[in-house]
């Protein structure tokens, strides 16, 4: 169970094995926080050591995004991208080609799996795959979750491991769930991954001797993960439905249930009485809204403004783990992943579960709930220490906002199906305008909807109108204000009640400058010290470098809180190292140097004397060509 205060766990599990670097990563999530995605590339570099109190170094963040955003592809439920708390973040532009919105074709279903498949490569070692099965979305959610991490080597064999076919089939299904399709390069990556992952020998966690993958809702795959022997079961789920609870209770006497207090209140007493024990999280372990002050690491960031938008999804405080534990004779069975204990999860949604089997005394209900009689460390806190018994009542609470929530979901779906596009045009003064086009159906009269690029403050939002001929346009935009991500915010007033809902859609952006990323980078570089530091970061060799020496070179000396250049000698040393071990770093550096030289606003930002050390290195790079180390 993951500590909700630990927001670095994803960076840690993304970090490549020793001597390896990331080739590419494919991830899935229901809801998505763009800031969480923006910081994820730090996990593939040494730059995470630069973080201080949760705030990444801005230049380290820039370089990690530039280097790895193109290697990360995230599939998320359409309409479930969170509106960032801060506006004015131009680095979100680098994420536009990494995000793919999924809207499952089956009516009423959602795309809910939370898995990653990562491919790591090494110069001298075989390809390694890492599989993550999470119950947490790619957000800064403050809740208790579970994570399963499996590493495995790609075996040199013709025949696949039959047990890996469900995982391969799941990966192969992803492009077909994106209505607009996926780029050719991503399709090739998915084809390679789904083919290779079937031949990966994954290492099971200690104490387990069998593993089964269960993708749900793809094609005609709707298998029952809970077949075979079950004597009794422990259900851990934040969201519940009576039909699914009846099913679990029927599997064996003496079963137990752990859920959220508010979710238990919504279930009829007769359904709950089928369980011998029912628990909810103790109040002191229900983490409230994050007040840690995590700072958006962009330069020139702006404060969040306006009312907090209500997020109508499952990213809430407290319990968020989905875990099922069964006793089956002397065997223990554990299922973990994305599926809640609801009929929707097991009958219509796209979900992913993994089952692990082992000896009951190590992974049965008692071992999970109480720590087990044979636990190695009897002083460790067990899951039960986090729980309070739940008292069943016959009075179900009434959600007075239920009708407004249904209306908000209806509006969200209407906007998703409108197939809006964003058309960019250049103004006479080298600024830009964005016009939103598409046919909007008539919105409910109880609701108003505004739209804005996420780079603009809320005061620059405009109202969406379905009146024929009405225009939605944003004028006089700077380079850094162009975005394919648009925030939609609806306000619903019904029966003297008010609900605010908000989400982000990535719209097709037509007419954007081809050099948009270069424009953003140039705008963020302010002085020679920053440029030199970016060069050093760019030349770093990921996990193949010595961490202490690399970080030491990049850090330099502090001078009154301002970073001071360590000089040109370390830069030359990094160039020599890159020439010998990773020529791509020199190609990237050449692109940066030529781009800065070609613009009058940035040509004077290059470090003094750069040509004297760079030109012979670049000549050597061209002579070596594609040969050599």
- Stretch 537-541: mean pLDDT: 82
Report how far apart, in Å, the C-alpha atoms of 454 and of each of 7, 37, 88, 514 are: 24, 15, 8, 20
Can you tell me the distance from the alpha carbon of 455 to that of 86, in angstroms, rounded to the nearest whole number? 8
- Check residue 519 and give its pLDDT: 85
- Stretch 347-353: mean pLDDT: 95
User: Which residues have C-beta within 8 Å of that of residue 582, sequence separation ≥ 6?
Assistant: 541, 544
Domains of the chain, residue spans? 9-203, 232-281+314-389, 402-514, 525-624
Can you tell me the distance from the alpha carbon of 597 to that of 615, in angstroms, rounded to the nearest whole number? 14
> pLDDT tens across 80-101, in order?
999 998 888 888 999 999 999 9
> pLDDT tens across 9-62, in order?
777 889 999 889 999 999 999 999 999 999 888 888 766 544 444 556 778 888
Left if phi > 0, otherwise alpha if psi is -120 to 50, otherwise beta: which for 207?
left
Average pLDDT, rounded, for the chain: 85
Question: pTM for the complete prediction?
Answer: 0.88
Q: Is the pLDDT of residue 456 over 80?
A: yes
Can you tell me the distance from the alpha carbon of 154 to that of 343, in angstroms, rounded to the nearest whole number? 36
Q: Quote the tokens at residue 474.
A: 């944003």
Can you tell me the distance from the alpha carbon of 591 to that of 414, in angstroms, rounded to the nearest whole number? 43
Over the range 389-412, which residues count as b (16 or more CB within 10 Å of their CB) and which as e?
Answer: ebeeeeeeeeeebeebeebbeebb
- Check residue 99 and give its pLDDT: 98
Which long-range contacts does 424-429 make (Cβ < 8 Å, 24+ apart)? 424/482, 424/509, 424/510, 424/511, 424/512, 425/511, 427/475, 427/476, 429/476
Domain 402-514 maps to which CATH number in 2.60.40, 3.90.320, 1.10.10, 2.60.120? 2.60.40
- Check residue 375 and give its pLDDT: 43
Check if CATH label 3.30.870.10 holds for domain 9-203.
Answer: yes
Q: Is the pLDDT of residue 629 over 60?
A: no
Can you tell me the distance from the alpha carbon of 368 to that of 376, in angstroms, rounded to the nearest whole number? 13
H or E element that contains 434: strand 432-437
> pLDDT tens across 486-500, in order?
999 999 998 889 999
Give alpha helix (H) positions in 24-133: 34-39, 58-68
Angle between helices 165-173 and 184-196 (to 10 degrees): 170
Can you tell me the distance from the alpha carbon of 462 to that of 488, in angstroms, rounded to the nearest whole number? 10
Proportion of the chain above pLDDT 70, given as a percent: 84
- β-strand 421-426 against 509-510: which pairing, if any? parallel
Can you tell me the distance from the alpha carbon of 405 to that of 172, in angstroms, rounded to the nearest whole number? 34
Q: Which fold has domain 232-281+314-389?
A: Endonuclease; Chain A (3.30.870)
Tracing tokens 């830009």 back to the chain, one arrives at: 432
Contact 407, 447 (CB under 8 A): yes
> pLDDT tens across 566-614, in order?
567 888 999 998 898 888 889 989 989 998 998 888 889 998 889 999 9
Can you tell me the distance from the alpha carbon of 537 to that of 492, in angstroms, rounded to the nearest whole number? 48
- The DSSP code for 594 is H
Domains 9-203 and 232-281+314-389 share a fold: yes
């Amino acid at each position: 169970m993951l500590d909700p205060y630990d927001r670095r766990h994803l960076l840690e599990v993304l970090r490549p094995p020793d001597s390896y670097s990331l080739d590419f990563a494919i991830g899935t999530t229901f809801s998505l926080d763009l800031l969480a995605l923006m910081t994820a590339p730090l996990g593939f570099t040494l730059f995470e050591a630069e973080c201080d109190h949760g705030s990444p170094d801005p230049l380290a963040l820039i370089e990690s995004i530039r280097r790895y955003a193109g290697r990360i592809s995230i599939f998320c439920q359409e309409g479930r991208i969170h509106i960032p708390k801060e506006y004015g973040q131009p680095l979100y532009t680098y994420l536009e080609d990494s995000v793919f919105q999924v809207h499952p074709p089956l009516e009423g279903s959602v795309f809910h799996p939370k898995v990653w498949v990562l491919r790591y490569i090494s110069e001298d070692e075989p390809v390694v795959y890492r599989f993550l099965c999470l119950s947490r979305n790619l957000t800064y959610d403050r809740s208790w979750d579970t994570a399963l991490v499996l590493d495995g080597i790609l075996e040199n064999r013709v025949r696949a491991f039959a047990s890996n076919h469900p995982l391969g089939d799941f990966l192969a299904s992803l492009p077909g769930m994106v209505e607009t399709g996926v780029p050719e390069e991503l399709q090739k990556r998915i084809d390679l991954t789904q083919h290779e992952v079937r031949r990966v020998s994954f290492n099971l966690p200690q104490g387990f001797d069998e593993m089964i993958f269960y993708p749900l809702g793809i094609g005609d795959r709707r298998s029952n993960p809970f077949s075979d022997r079950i004597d009794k079961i422990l259900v851990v789920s934040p969201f519940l439905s009576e039909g699914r609870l009846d099913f679990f209770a029927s599997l064996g006497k003496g079963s137990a249930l752990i859920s959220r207090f508010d979710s238990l209140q919504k279930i009829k007493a007769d359904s709950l009485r089928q369980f011998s024990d029912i628990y909810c999280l103790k109040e002191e372990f229900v983490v409230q809204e994050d007040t840690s002050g995590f700072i958006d690491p962009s330069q020139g960031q702006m404060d969040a403004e306006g009312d907090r938008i209500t997020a109508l999804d499952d990213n809430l405080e407290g319990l968020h783990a989905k875990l099922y534990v069964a006793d089956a004779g002397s065997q223990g069975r554990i299922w973990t992943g994305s599926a809640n204990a609801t009929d929707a999860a097991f009958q219509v949604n796209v979900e992913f579960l993994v089952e692990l089997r082992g000896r009951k005394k190590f992974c049965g209900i008692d071992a999970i709930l109480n720590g087990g009689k044979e636990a190695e460390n009897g002083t460790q806190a067990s899951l039960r220490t986090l729980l309070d018994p739940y008292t069943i009542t016959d009075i179900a609470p009434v959600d007075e906002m239920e009708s407004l929530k249904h209306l908000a979901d209806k509006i969200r779906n209407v906007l998703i199906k409108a197939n809006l596009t964003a058309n960019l045009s250049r103004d006479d003064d080298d600024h830009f305008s964005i016009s939103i086009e598409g046919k909007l159906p008539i919105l409910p009269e109880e609701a108003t909807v505004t739209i804005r690029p996420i780079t603009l403050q809320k005061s620059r939002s405009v109202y969406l109108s379905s009146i024929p001929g009405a225009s939605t346009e944003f004028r006089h935009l700077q380079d850094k204000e162009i975005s394919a991500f648009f925030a939609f915010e609806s306000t619903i007033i019904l029966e003297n009640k008010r609900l605010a809902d908000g989400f982000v859609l990535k719209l097709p952006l037509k007419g954007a400058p081809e050099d948009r990323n270069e424009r953003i980078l140039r705008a963020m570089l302010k002085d020679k010290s920053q440029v030199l530091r970016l060069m050093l970061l760019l030349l770093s060799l990921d996990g193949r470098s010595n961490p202490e020496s690399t970080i030491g070179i990049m850090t330099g000396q502090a001078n009154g809180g301002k970073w001071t250049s360590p000089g040109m000698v370390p830069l030359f040393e990094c160039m020599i190292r890159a020439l010998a071990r990773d020529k791509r770093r020199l190609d990237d550096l050449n692109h940066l140097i030529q781009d800065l030289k070609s613009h009058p606003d940035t040509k004077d930002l290059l470090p003094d004397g750069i040509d004297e050390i760079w030109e012979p290195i670049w000549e050597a790079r061209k002579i070596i060509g594609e040969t050599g180390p």
